[in-house]
Amino acid sequence: MENNQGSFLDKNTIIAIVLTIIVWVGWSQYMAKKYPEAEKEALIETLAGKDSTKIDANVKQSIEANLEPSLDQSQKEVAATTINKDVKPVVFDFPKLSFTVSPLGMGLNEIILKDYTDREDKNIQLSVSSKTYSNFATKLEGKDELLFFDLKKISETEVIGEGSFEGVTYEKKYKINPETFSIDASLSVKGENTLPQFETLITEKANAPAASSMLSPSMEKQEVIVKHKDGDDREIFNNQEPFVGDFNSVYMASLSSHYFATAVMDMSDVIPNFKANYDKANETMIGKLIYPSFAGTKSLDLKYKLYFGPKDVSTLQSVNANLSELVDFGMFSFIAEPLLRLMKWFYSFLGNWGLAIIALTVLVRLVVLPFNVMSYKSMSKMQAIQPTLKAVREKYKDDPVRMNQEVMGIMKQEKVNPAGGCLPMLLQFPIFIALYRVLSESIDLYKAPFGLWITDLSLKDPYYVLPILMGISMFLQQKITPSTMDPQQQKVMAFMPIVFSLLMISLPSGLTLYIFVSTIFGVIQQQLFMKKA
């Protein structure tokens, strides 16, 4: 009788064993890639025969080195940042700010500005960090992981970090200036062969753009600001659009919101390039100062200033003159900066930014008063000869050349300059624009109360009282000001107060206050001119 009992090593059994081995090996590799630290710790424990958390640091580093051949490249990068993982962040706490210095890249985390709060009354926090980036962290170009530093706090304002890899040693120092929200930083690197490229990072959380339209423009913005050999660049970013920026030979780079900024001012012999991109997954803008490496370069010494604070002109200037340009006063900045100093001077004894704006507005109107007098005289003369000019135009309406000759002759005889009414207004225009920029960009108005219903001069008037009053005052000024326009033009101009009121309803109340006070001054001025006439 034939034996039907199968052998243990029959075909089906062999297939089952092979499949089991394949699945086991595949699963082991998958888990090693997904949890490399756990795999590494298990191997360390096996080799050391004890709890890996209690292994001497030198012994553990030696074991790590022996394990390297069995780790793939991604595991080696992770291992490089987790050696001496018991090194804790260094905490700095000052009256104006606090932050921690991480051993990963010596990046700054938990940056809190104690004197400033957001719209929800929470302290401003500038730090954005992860395992692959944080503010002012150092890393190797092209690598995901940050360099690891053994940290040592050497004084209340100084910290030093050291590290090494593959024959390269590096040392980074911070000297903190808490009163100016800045750090004097240096990085020294030495190696046996040509050094790799190093990066310094800056980060900024990208916010959704505020609702904006022609009649309701938003003043809030976030920018990449770069100063380089070819000039300056400012580019807006938000979390709705992709962003990639690439700049060469950079000496200042910043990521900033409307009132606060993080920035690096480089002062090294090696001139870096700067790249910025938007990390959509984390809704974060990441900037990288990349220091190039040249063949045969075995040492590198970098020096730079770090800034992480308010966009206050005087504070920025005290750190570095170039940093003050983070505040955008536009093409008339040479006028705007003295106006800002004047406004601060008024505030120093008035103690209210709204009153300081009023005082500054009155002073500006007094300065331009002579030009207004010239304009009023010119417009009065033009108005007086209008009947004569109308008769001449009617008489020579079929002869344009003769008509123009007669009109110019009358103006010359009466000593009337047709541009006399416009020229003073053109001279005032730069002052108006400069003051507009001061009031819209100055952090001094951020959350500054005026009184009554206006609790924040950097926000719109919540009840639209000032825009309405401004429109009414502009209408009155139009009515009492002499005009040489024809009736059709006058009808068009009659709508201007309404248009201006609509434009101002969403702009900062500090701006509206300035225009309202300026218009009231104009009404009073016009009444005095007419009384004297």
* Ordered DSSP codes for 194-236: ----EEEEEEEEPPPPPP--SSS------EEEEEETTEEEEEE
| pLDDT for res 8 | 47
Nearest in space to 90 (alpha carbons), one of 137, 157, 147: 157
Q: pLDDT averaged over the chain?
A: 81
Mean pLDDT check: name the lowest of 102-106, 118-122, 214-218. Answer: 214-218
Where along the chain do its domains lie? 32-85, 90-328, 334-532
| pLDDT for res 82 | 41
Which residues contact residue 132 at a Cβ distance below 8 angstroms, ignoring those fewer than 6 apart? Answer: 139, 144, 145, 146
The pLDDT-based confidence of 253 (bands split at 50, 70, 90) is very high
pLDDT at 417 over 90: no
Mean pLDDT check: name the lowest of 117-121, 180-184, 403-407. Answer: 403-407
| pLDDT for res 59 | 42
Q: Contact at 8 Å (CB) between 361 and 428? A: no
| pLDDT for res 58 | 44
State the Cα–Cα distance between residues 292 and 310, nearest whole angstrom: 31
Q: In the block, which residue shows the tokens 């100016």?
A: 180
Both tokens of 104, joined, read: 């990963």
pLDDT tens per residue, range 150-197: 999 999 999 999 999 888 999 999 999 999 999 999 999 998 888 899
pLDDT tens per residue, range 59-83: 444 444 444 443 344 434 433 444 4
Q: In the block, which residue shows the tokens 């009947």?
A: 387
Mean pLDDT of 399-409: 80
The pLDDT-based confidence of 458 (bands split at 50, 70, 90) is confident
89 φ, ψ (degrees, to nearest 5): -60, 150
Does an H or E element contain 12, and which?
Answer: helix 11-34
Nearest in space to 345 (alpha carbons), one of 332, 334, 359, 366: 359
For 428, counting Cβ atoms within 10 Å of its Cβ (0-12 exposed, 13-18 middle, 19+ buried), the class is middle
Q: Contact at 8 Å (CB) between 169 and 191? A: yes
Q: Which residue has the higher pLDDT, 183 or 432?
A: 183
| pLDDT for res 104 | 93
Percent of the chain with pLDDT over 90: 35
| pLDDT for res 19 | 67
**How far are the Cα atoms of 37, 44, 59 from residue 54, in angstroms, in the given order?**
16, 11, 10
| pLDDT for res 492 | 72
The pLDDT-based confidence of 210 (bands split at 50, 70, 90) is low
Rg of the chain in Å (alpha carbons): 34
DSSP 426-476: HHHHHHHHHHHHHHHH-GGGTT---BTTB--TTS--TT-HHHHHHHHHHHH
Both tokens of 197, joined, read: 């490229």
| pLDDT for res 113 | 95
Q: For the domain bounded by 90-328, which CATH number is listed?
A: 2.70.98.90
| pLDDT for res 108 | 95
> DSSP assignment, residue 321?
G
For 293, counting Cβ atoms within 10 Å of its Cβ (0-12 exposed, 13-18 middle, 19+ buried), the class is middle
Q: Contact at 8 Å (CB) between 122 and 130? A: no
Angular region, 11: left φ>0, alpha ψ -120 to 50, beta rest: alpha
Q: Contact at 8 Å (CB) between 273 and 247? A: yes
Q: Which residue has the higher pLDDT, 248 or 385?
A: 248
158-167 long-range Cβ contacts below 8 angstroms, 24+ apart: 159/90, 159/92, 159/101, 159/106, 161/101, 161/103, 161/106, 165/80, 167/191, 167/192, 167/193
Q: Reading across the β-sheet that carries 123-125, which strands appear in turn? A: 90-93, 97-101, 108-117, 123-125
Q: How many CA atoms lie within 13 A of 478 on its CB side?
A: 17
Bridge partner residues of 302 (DSSP): 187
pTM here is: 0.75
Mean pLDDT of 331-340: 90
> DSSP assignment, residue 50?
S
The pLDDT-based confidence of 266 (bands split at 50, 70, 90) is very high
Note the helical H segments in 235-332: 313-319
Sign of CA dihedral 210, 107, 157, 307: negative
Both tokens of 360, joined, read: 């500054």
pLDDT tens per residue, range 474-518: 888 888 776 656 667 667 777 788 888 887 888 888 889 998 998
State the Cα–Cα distance between residues 425 and 522, nearest whole angstrom: 13
State the Cα–Cα distance between residues 82 and 332, nearest whole angstrom: 52
| pLDDT for res 386 | 77
pLDDT at 446 over 60: yes
The pLDDT-based confidence of 14 (bands split at 50, 70, 90) is low
Nearest in space to 266 (alpha carbons), one of 327, 315, 202, 309: 202
State the Cα–Cα distance between residues 501 and 470, nearest whole angstrom: 7
Both tokens of 149, joined, read: 């530093």
